[in-house]
Chains A and B, each alone.
Chain A
Amino acid sequence: MAEILVRKKYMEKVCPLCQNVRLEEAFPVGPSNPSDNLVYSSLASAERQIRLLRILSGSEEQPLECVLEPASLEECQYTALSYCWGSASDRKNIMVNGQTISVTKNLENALRHLRKADQEIVVWADAICINQQDLAEKSIQVGMMGNIYSNGTSLR
């Protein structure tokens, strides 16, 4: 029950243009207390930073373990994922930076398919690589998508 409450969290937002207040559904990914959050550190927008997800090698049965870390967009190599989020209630846990986070089943599925037994894979996946709760960051990162998707390379 407590978990459901956390997932259905709403954020209060004020529109800077009309000053109207609205409630929007939040996407809780990491722990709600920011000081405990090892998943997201802030990004340097001036240096056009993004976050990349390293999927650690592993065999099929093993749980997914990943490292999320900042990288400069101009100098990095990754595969950009295009997937649909799927149902928000159908979720799975994965390990990121040693913490458990919850992602949609479809994304977990995709990451599992990409994982290799013997080498790491570096990917960019919007739901994880953008801190969905940080609207200022999201506004900047969504604006960088043109570069993010045209830069992607493969590790196959």
Chain B
Amino acid sequence: MNAKRSLLKSASATEVWIWLGEAGEDSDAAMDYIRNIEKLDFEDPNYSPPPAAWKAINLLWSRPWFERLWVVQEALLARKATFNCGQQTVDLDCFVMLKEVQMKYIHLPHPRLASMQYPLSSPFALALWDWNRLKDLQSRGGIPLFQMITLTGKARCFSPVDKIYGILSVCQEIDRRVVKIDYDVCIRCLLMQLAAYMLYRREAYSPLFVLQTHRTNKTQDVPSWVPDYTTDDDEEHLIVVPNVEGSRPFNAGANDVAWTNLGLPSFPFPGGDLPDDVGELFNPLRIQFEDERTFETLMIPGLVVDTIQAVYPCPFDPKNDFYTGPDLEEDQRRKALRRTIFLETFKKWEHNIRCDLRDNCNPYPSLLGRSEAFWRTLVTDRELEYPTKRPASNDFADRFEAWMGRSERRNDEAYTRPFSNAAINSCLHRSFATTRKGYLALVPQSTMLGHLVCVLRGARVPFIIKARDDGYFELVGEAYVHGIMDGESVLCAQKNDVKVFKIR
């Protein structure tokens, strides 16, 4: 028996056996192609990827396995994994390479490579795209829980608690110690514990980032400050500006000194100076709850900066109007239509500002400053190209004018596109708003007249908050408010402006 065992061990070929299902829809051709992907030279001008194989790959990719949540950790944990479909077997490494190749060439649509222009976007594909980095993190102690949650946002599972339990095995040991797997605990309690944990410890760079995520479409009945990680998170969140040379991250919450000047005690959390890995350090922001047993009400100091005066919704419903099919012409047609719709909308918004705001109700330097504030607000003052940079470069002013048809290069689409792409990306999930003091803002779609623009201590971005009649507050979501994104409102506040928001 022992001899047999050791023999088996040395002969081990597959450790995790992935089953995509029976052969069908030309899956054999797809598997064959993927198996040999390493041998193909996509740079070779004489090589044209066979349309039939890529079509089959796209179909293979739409099999339900790629949508599932558990499979991400199962494949990541495997020392070696194979994909199996019908009688065909292909190493996971080949799938990693396929995704790499596809991502490399999808942004360079050359006629020769036209046959491979499929998005191949599934929840699992997101992980494949970043595979080597994830494996590396995992081998060095685990992938941060928050990264895994973001990565698997669209993945499906049967029970909502599995959205968390189904990824914990690739996370860090401390995550597993704090978020214990217990199927008796209900999803509401799990989400609240998780959010409190994130505020206490995770996201050292910006603990309040937790409050920025999952703003709308909650399906679980949780307090407003608790993100609902059981629903898809389609929204592009604001904190995407890296702290690199030539770029300034959002810092609406200013720094420790600014808050101690306002009479608050000094916190160990010094703005962006804390290292990413805080080790065992808990609660650098001294987050408090009204009742520490239930986590129902979050208490956090901050300022009311302003009140929303008018809200203009985005004209586009990404859920209905997005095209994700394989027809490239249809995709192009929809994109062009989207551009036109947004252009008309931006013209309307520009007109609305003039009607809403008197000339002297203007926190920006002169009316010219207001025009600049408008185009900077539309792109949340950043460029889309990776790595994202803030502020957006000054030539965006003319690209904007050209797109609006008011400058020489009005018909030059390649010239206006960097601006229009960035603006559409920022505005897709948001509404445009003006405030009583005349600030211009992009706000969550659920924002209403009379909601407050607030800056919370330790936050990178301002938040829209609703004041309830009973003295409590509700979080509506993150906002881009041009002119207070670098802590201006904290630096010029008075001691008695500071209040503790009880958010539930």
Does B19 lie within 8 Å of A109, measured CB to CB?
yes
Q: Which of B256-310 contact A (CB under 8 A)?
A: 294
Does B8 lie within 8 Å of A109, measured CB to CB?
no
Residue A73 interfacial (CB < 8 Å): no
Name the B residues within 8 Å of A151 (CB-CB): 15
Does A156 lie within 8 Å of B68, measured CB to CB?
no
Name the B residues within 8 Å of A81 (CB-CB): 16-17, 19
Residue A102 interfacial (CB < 8 Å): no
Name the B residues within 8 Å of A106 (CB-CB): 19, 21
Q: Which of B4-29 contact A (CB under 8 A)?
A: 5, 8-9, 11-19, 21-22
Interface stretch, picked from A33-41, A60-68, A91-99, A134-142, is: A134-142
Does B15 lie within 8 Å of A77, measured CB to CB?
no
Q: Which of B176-227 contact A (CB under 8 A)?
A: 176, 181-186, 188-189, 193
A13 to B185, CA, bound (A): 9
B431 smallest CB distance to A (angstroms): 34
- Nearest chain-B residue to A138 (Cβ)? B183
- Nearest chain-B residue to A16 (Cβ)? B184
Interface size on B, residues (CB 8 A): 46
Does A145 lie within 8 Å of B21, measured CB to CB?
no
Check A150/B79 contact, CB under 8 A, given A77-B9, A106-B19.
yes
A82 to B68, CA, bound (A): 10
- Nearest chain-A residue to B171 (Cβ)? A146
Residue B169 interfacial (CB < 8 Å): yes
Residue A5 interfacial (CB < 8 Å): no
Residue A31 interfacial (CB < 8 Å): no
Residue B81 interfacial (CB < 8 Å): yes
Check A77/B5 contact, CB under 8 A, given A16-B184, A146-B170.
yes
Does A13 lie within 8 Å of B184, measured CB to CB?
yes
Q: Indicate with 1 or 0, residue by residue over A1-22, a CB within 8 angstroms of chain B CB atoms.
A: 0000000000001111110101
A154 to B12, CA, bound (A): 5
The secondary-structure label for the interface of chain B is: mixed
Does B65 lie within 8 Å of A84, measured CB to CB?
yes
A70 to B176, CA, bound (A): 25
Does A143 lie within 8 Å of B19, measured CB to CB?
no
* CB contact between A79 and one of B5, B14, B65 (< 8 Å): that residue: B14
A80 to B16, CA, bound (A): 5
Name the A residues within 8 Å of B182 (CB-CB): 16, 139
Does A18 lie within 8 Å of B15, measured CB to CB?
no
Q: Indicate with 1 or 0, residue by residue over B355-366, a CB within 8 angstroms of chain A CB atoms.
A: 000000000000
Check A109/B5 contact, CB under 8 A, given A17-B189, A82-B71.
no
Does A154 lie within 8 Å of B13, measured CB to CB?
yes
A143 to B11, CA, bound (A): 29
Does B15 lie within 8 Å of A17, measured CB to CB?
no
Name the A residues within 8 Å of B77 (CB-CB): 145-146, 149-150
Does B158 lie within 8 Å of A149, measured CB to CB?
no
- Nearest chain-A residue to B16 (Cβ)? A80
A45 smallest CB distance to B (angstroms): 12
Residue contacts A-B, CB under 8 angstroms, 14 given:
A15-B188, A20-B186, A22-B186, A81-B17, A82-B16, A83-B19, A84-B71, A106-B19, A113-B84, A114-B17, A126-B70, A136-B184, A149-B78, A153-B8
In the A-B complex, the 7 residue pairs with the smallest Cβ-Cβ separation, listed nearest first, are A149-B77, A146-B169, A15-B186, A154-B14, A110-B19, A83-B19, A135-B183
Q: Which B residues are closer than 8 A to A by beta carbons?
A: 5, 8-9, 11-19, 21-22, 64-65, 67-68, 70-71, 73-75, 77-79, 81, 84, 158-159, 165-166, 168-170, 176, 181-186, 188-189, 193, 294
